[in-house]
Amino acid sequence: MSRRLFLRIANAVEAHNPYFKQRTDALGVLGLSCLQKVTAAHRILAYGIPADLTDEYLQIGESITIESLRAFVKAIVEVFGDWYLKAPNEADICRLLSIGEQRGFPGMLGSIDCMHWKWEKCPIAWHGMYTGHCREPTIILEAVASQDLWIWHAFFGMPGSLNDINVLDRSPIFAALAEGRTAPVNYTINGHEYTMGYYLADEIYPNWSTFVKTIPRPLGAKRKYFASKQESARKDVERAFGVLQSRFAIVHEGAMNLGFDHERAVNSFISVSHDEIPELHDFLQTHNRIRDRATSSQLQEDLVEHLWEQYGNE
């Protein structure tokens, strides 16, 4: 991280939360500075180290380090959340669609997948619920990422015993779409018109009109070419997960001695007022369109033809 970026973050959280301001005690002795507290939080997130390892370098105790980390991540969300933790607006969607079309996938909004985040200090009583195919307690992160590594959808907190479909059933990713609160997405492929964007996904995801999956055993040059292009573009989200883990070792190594707010995590759905909920008929129609298997098959066939026509001769 550059010095300029680090100081920008430190100054922002200090201005937002008085906890980070340096104060004096009753004897007039200066307490811990903002730089000490913010650096301690950064070291835990970046290196995945336990809180007591920051004492030697920063002269800050374990309990204060954990307290600083909690205050830091909360301040980051409150200060930068409106800009960096937002759903795509109309301009963002146009940019995503343009990127997808340049890669041969008109209507593509990104790639979707799940990763497991190791929870080293999971309470013994919860081991069964949070242990799945990884053979150790994990917490699942569902994300949608674009080619430029922008993770614009993140749903975190589901137990590791679930799979991608179970997580999808609880995820709010299509909530705004079903409720009519998203910007329109209109495009034409192979002479057929479509009104909803889609995500590239692996084979475990259902055959919905909002997912485009590969062809497991493709026959013929057209289908083989489509499968190779889909599998290549779908790596965007896996690459984003790789960068996330390399930059923040706490994601790769797992939580050491930090608490986890289970209730807040599993209930991190978007709240909607009754005034924003569409008519039941419209909601059900959109809901059925999202899960339409016939449209999914047609979309895949159209993309097979489109990719072959545009790039097959290469």
Long-range CB contact pairs, 267-276, < 8 A, 24+: 268/155, 268/156, 268/157, 269/172, 269/175, 270/172, 270/175, 270/176, 272/175, 272/179, 276/179, 276/181
Q: What is the pLDDT of residue 253?
A: 63
Predicted confidence at residue 118, as pLDDT, reads 86
Tokens 């010095």, residue located: 3
Q: What string of DSSP letters covers 264-280?
A: HHHT-PPP--GGGSPPH
| Domain residue ranges in the chain | 3-84, 90-311
Which amino acid is present at 3? Answer: R
Please state, in angstroms and rounded to a whole number, the distance separating the CA atoms of residues 238 and 145: 9
Name the percent of the chain lying above pLDDT 90. Answer: 52
Tell me how far CA of residue 222 lies from CA of 100, 212, 233, 255, 306, in angstroms.
19, 16, 17, 46, 10
pLDDT tens digits, 137-186:
999 999 999 998 889 899 988 999 999 999 999 999 888 888 878 888 88
> What band does 307 get if pLDDT is binned at 50, 70 and 90?
very high
Please state the pTM of the whole predicted model. 0.79
Report pLDDT digits (tens) over 222-252. 999 999 999 999 999 999 999 888 888 777 6
Q: Is the pLDDT of residue 47 over 70?
A: yes
Residue, of 127 and 263, whose pLDDT is higher: 127
Label the pairing between strands 187-189 and 151-159: unpaired
| Predicted local confidence at residue 210, as pLDDT | 93
Q: Which one, of 155, 166, 110, 108, lies nearest residue 133 by Cα? A: 166
Confidence of residue 130 (pLDDT cuts 50, 70, 90): very high
| Res 20: pLDDT | 93
Q: What is the mean pLDDT of residues 289-307?
A: 93
Report pLDDT digits (tens) over 249-290. 777 665 555 444 444 444 333 334 445 555 777 888 888 889
Quickly count: other Cβ atoms within 10 Å of residue 25's Cβ.
Answer: 8
